[in-house]
Amino acid sequence: MVTQLAAAQLNFFPSNRMNPATGYGRMELGLVKGLTGFGVQVWMVDRWTPPKHAVTIISGSPEWGEDVPGRKWAFTMSESNRVSRLWVDILNADFERVLVACPPLVDIYRESGLTIPVDYVPLGVDYRPPYFVPRDPHPPQFTWLTYSLGDMRKGADLAIMAFKRLCGDDPRYRLIIKCRDAAQWLTGLDDPQISLEQGQMSEPEWHDLLARCQAMIFPSRGEGFGYPPREAVLSGLPVAATQALGMWDVEKWGYPIAVKDMRPCQFDYYEANDEAGQWWEPDRESIDAQMKAVMADYRAALAKAAAGRKYLLEYFTWEQAARRIEELLCESA
């Protein structure tokens, strides 16, 4: 079946240079895969390569697109409940439309002052997905995995405290912290049960790390989409994650951690988020309860992960993202 998108032409400006070690980079790689696989002629642009076609999609920061001529759409995210005035002003002045990675971001962008259309486009998880790993339902050692960028947003501090509350000094339990960037406060850890995996990983290295673990705890305070926990589920890993913003649907693929309240962001260097923005603070009792549920009935947790994998591969594909972009192109023609 030939669709309108099969004859479409788009410019694409990947501001994160399609680096697979970053969430935006993975989004860029997947989007190009989905569009080209659907028959779209994608012309890659940057600050030195001018657009060739009518519409340019700019991923990540809209600041990269200020000098790009023609019709511009931003495909972007945020990690707090308020978008910065800088981004809102740029988008309203220079862009035609904004595409966001999760439904709650539609309202957040509008409530932050955006006057141009804002539309949800589902991201895909099918760009080099982790291989599924059958796991022993009665593992002799239980290794939890969590994730950090070296700051506090991903909630590694909450994961560490919950792990020690629940597992104490029992040598049968371990916690691995995947820390992509400079570990900062994590470098002071001195616990024989807790270890760091630092630096950027290749796809095989990340997949192998997932295969070595039994479960993931991801009490993040703000996610635009949440690739690490979703990819963990694809590998068959049971995951407990905060049910907020980009992980609004976690009950479909993992164990949802409730939000206790909203608190001020503990960073202001990322230009997407307003200085008055707030994070979703995970509830301590909910973290403990979900981790206990995973460990108490690990066989059921594995079954939940397998069902979650099926859900993610059904509803989050780059072909679906391409189809949604087709609909929006037709609406705006």
pLDDT at 330: 83
Cα→Cα distances 116→12, 13, 51, 93, 246, Å: 20, 20, 22, 9, 21
How high does pLDDT run on average in the chain? 93
Domains of the chain: 4-124+317-332 (3.40.50.2000), 142-315 (3.40.50.2000)
Tokens at residue 297, please? Answer: 């009935």
Q: What is the DSSP letter of 51?
A: -
pLDDT tens by residue, 88-137 = 999 999 999 999 999 999 999 999 999 999 999 999 999 999 999 999 99
Contact call for residues 252 and 138 (beta carbons, < 8 A): no
Contact call for residues 155 and 144 (beta carbons, < 8 A): no
Please state, in angstroms and rounded to a whole number, the distance separating the CA atoms of residues 111 and 264. 18
**If the chain, 333 residues long, is cut into consecutive pieces of 10 residues, what is the mean pLDDT of each piece?**
57 91 88 91 92 95 92 95 96 97 98 98 95 97 94 93 97 94 74 91 93 98 96 98 98 98 80 92 98 98 98 97 90 80
Bridge partners (DSSP) of residue 274 are: none
**CB atoms inside a 10 Å sphere around CB 47:** 12
Query: The dihedral of CA 12, 112, 266, 283: what is its sign?
Result: negative
